[in-house]
Amino acid sequence: MKNCYETYPFSEKNIKVMRPGGVALTDEMILACGLDESAKVLDVGCGIGTVVHHLRSKYGYDVMGIDCSPILIQKGLINVPGLSIKVGNAEDLPYLESTLDCILMECTLSVFQNPQQVLKEAYRVMQSGSKLVISDVYLKERSCPSSIKSSVKTEKEVKQLIRTQGFKILKWSEKTPLLHSYIAEMIWNQSGDQKSGFLSEFCSLTGVSGLKLGYFSLVAEK
């Protein structure tokens, strides 16, 4: 499957964090977790490692990142040599049981083919009391379940999915205005074929074209 993130033209003039809210939303969610400075944090779907570098620099956490794309990992290591990011499979995390204090999944849960297994793996490697941080799109309504093949879920479905894997949801925040402003900013900053290219590829990947979307942030606990 084509990875639309791999072809996005990351540069100083373009958006470096490919999701609504950027690192400001990451900061908001991380601070809500109340982590110690020595916390071990994993960014699942880290892309070029922007958040890994940000959290290490700003808070001093022991932050690691994995992504399924060798291309994005290579770009990240070129940008910041020695950054703790590597190619990895979210369904089979290369970490021991009960070793992590926090896992981030920012705008990634909706694109995983098997989100149940991804969350199961997250639960396995997290310590008791550890925090799971998620931000992502969700369906405002599912009016025709049989005809919608989207991997994106409704609020109720997202919460059920997370609770079924053993997590306790501590906070759900409505962030849909960030989605609207992000799309507007991305279109404004792009030119020519890029204006429709990334958006159409993302919609094709998630199956959300033409559907009414919202955006949320969530903090859960093991």
Identify the bridge partners of residue 102 per DSSP, sorted by sequence position: 41, 131
Q: How confident is the model at residue 211 (pLDDT cuts 50, 70, 90)?
A: low
Percent of the chain whose predicted confidence (pLDDT) is above 70: 76
Contact 67, 47 (CB under 8 A): yes
pTM for this model (two decimals) = 0.85
Angle at 134 between CA 110 and CA 210, to 5 degrees: 35
pLDDT single digits (tens) 116-127: 999 999 999 999
Residues 54-105 pLDDT 10s: 999 999 999 999 999 999 999 999 999 999 999 999 999 999 999 999 999 9
With 50 as the cut, is the pLDDT of residue 147 above it? no
Domains, the chain, ranges and CATH? 22-140+150-221 (3.40.50.150)
How far apart are the two ends of the chain, measured CA to CA in Å? 32
Q: Percent helix, strand, coil in the chain (nearest 5)?
A: 35, 25, 40
| Contact (CB, 8 A) for 126 and 109 | no
Q: Could you list the beta-strand ranges (E) of 53-186.
A: 62-67, 85-87, 100-106, 126-139, 168-174
For residue 151, what pLDDT is reported? Answer: 73
Render pLDDT for 162-186 as a digit per residue (tens, 0 to 9). 999 999 999 999 999 998 888 777 6
